[in-house]
């Protein structure tokens, strides 16, 4: 069962400090949600954990089962089992969705252990059915001309096929209608296991009606300032963030 520990993480983008000492531990079987006002550094956290070159870590540590994640190159992080579903997935022209998925799976499995084409197609088609995706999406260029909802479903498809150990989902709910939201949530719920931990970043409580978090964390100004259970998300939905700022004496 994985153990992912973020300790005192500070990170800057273009010389400006965005993450200001963030602590969070995620274990297998746990779903953690991070909520927080816009611009508070939630996406920065996701990108920093995945090793995006724009984000410079200036302090702290991140470990997965005791291994130093910050020392790992981006592809090594993926192989170690980190996965990020992005708020804004990019479009890649000239690469079909199925080619992209197969290379991602093979990169993870390593040389000499590649998945057979037949087996890959069988798995992909099965998961696409579960996500209610039309078969043509396998052959379309990655995310090109996909609607917001289709992109998000495609991120979940990637996650289902890659079977990561730590899944980070950044605003996977934004731009989804209620049916797509339900399908995406069911995809996440179906992957919940002792071998996997989740970090779900969301601006709205709505997603958490479908995915019940074990822990909810409020992020403000680059730190987690308050943690609780699912009820904390409901309270934020009802009362906003001001009461937390008042409680903690945060001025912005």
Report the interface residues with Mg ion, using CB under 5 A. 38, 42-43
CB 204, CB 192: distance < 8 Å? no
Judging by beta carbons within 10 Å of its beta carbon (0-12, 13-18, 19+), is residue 247 exposed, middle or buried?
A: exposed
The helix/strand/coil state of 202 is coil
Does position 85 interact with ligand ADP (CB under 6 A)? The reply is no
Q: Which does residue 48 touch among Mg ion, ligand ADP, none (CB within 5 to 8 A, set by kind)? A: none
Q: Which does residue 8 touch among ligand ADP, Mg ion, none (CB within 5 to 8 A, set by kind)? A: none
Q: Which does residue 41 touch among Mg ion, ligand ADP, none (CB within 5 to 8 A, set by kind)? A: ligand ADP
Q: Which stretch binds ligand ADP (CB under 6 A): 42-50, 126-134, 148-156, 185-193?
A: 42-50
Residues 6+ apart with CB under 8 A from 233: 33, 35, 205, 208, 213, 216
Size of the site for ligand ADP (CB under 6 A): 12
Query: What's the CA dihedral at 160, 162, 164, 170 to 10 degrees?
Result: -60
With CA atoms as reference, report the closest residue to 240 among 218, 208, 210. 218
Distance CA 230, CA 211 (A): 10
Tell me which of 3, 5, 7, 13 binds ligand ADP, using CB under 6 A: 13
Does position 39 interact with ligand ADP (CB under 6 A)? The reply is yes
Tell me the closest approach of the beta carbon of residue 81 to ligand ADP, in angstroms. Answer: 23
Tell me which of 40, 48, 97, 154 binds ligand ADP, using CB under 6 A: 40
Cβ distance to Mg ion smaller for residue 43 or 158:
43
Q: Which two tokens stand for residue 212?
A: 């019940």
CB 111, CB 117: distance < 8 Å? no
Cβ distance to ligand ADP smaller for residue 24 or 124:
24
Tell me which of 54, 109, 119, 126 binds ligand ADP, using CB under 6 A: 54
Rule CB under 6 A: which residues touch ligand ADP? 13-14, 18, 36, 38-44, 54
């Amino acid at each position: 069962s994985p153990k992912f520990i973020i300790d005192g993480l500070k990170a800057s983008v273009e010389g400006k400090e965005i993450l200001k000492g963030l602590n969070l531990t995620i274990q297998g079987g746990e779903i953690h949600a991070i909520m927080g006002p816009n611009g508070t550094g939630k996406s920065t956290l996701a990108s920093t954990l995945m090793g995006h070159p724009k984000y410079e870590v200036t302090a702290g540590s991140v470990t997965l089962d005791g291994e130093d994640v910050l020392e790992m190159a981006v592809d090594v992080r993926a192989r170690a089992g980190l996965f990020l579903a992005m708020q804004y997935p990019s479009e890649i022209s000239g690469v079909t969705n199925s080619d992209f998925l197969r290379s991602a799976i093979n990169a993870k499995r390593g040389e000499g252990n590649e998945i057979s084409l037949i087996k890959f197609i069988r798995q992909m088609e099965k998961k696409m059915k579960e996500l209610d995706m039309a078969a043509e999406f396998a052959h379309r260029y990655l995310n090109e001309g996909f609607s917001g909802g289709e992109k998000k479903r495609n991120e979940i498809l990637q996650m289902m096929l890659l079977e990561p150990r730590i899944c980070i989902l950044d605003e996977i709910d934004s731009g989804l209608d209620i049916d797509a939201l339900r399908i995406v949530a069911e995809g996440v719920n179906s992957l919940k296991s002792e071998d996997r931990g989740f970090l779900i970043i969301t601006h709205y409580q709505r997603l958490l009606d479908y995915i019940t978090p074990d822990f909810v964390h409020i992020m403000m100004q680059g730190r987690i300032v308050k943690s609780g259970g699912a009820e904390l998300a409901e309270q934020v939905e009802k009362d906003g963030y001001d009461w937390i700022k008042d409680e903690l004496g945060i001025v912005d």
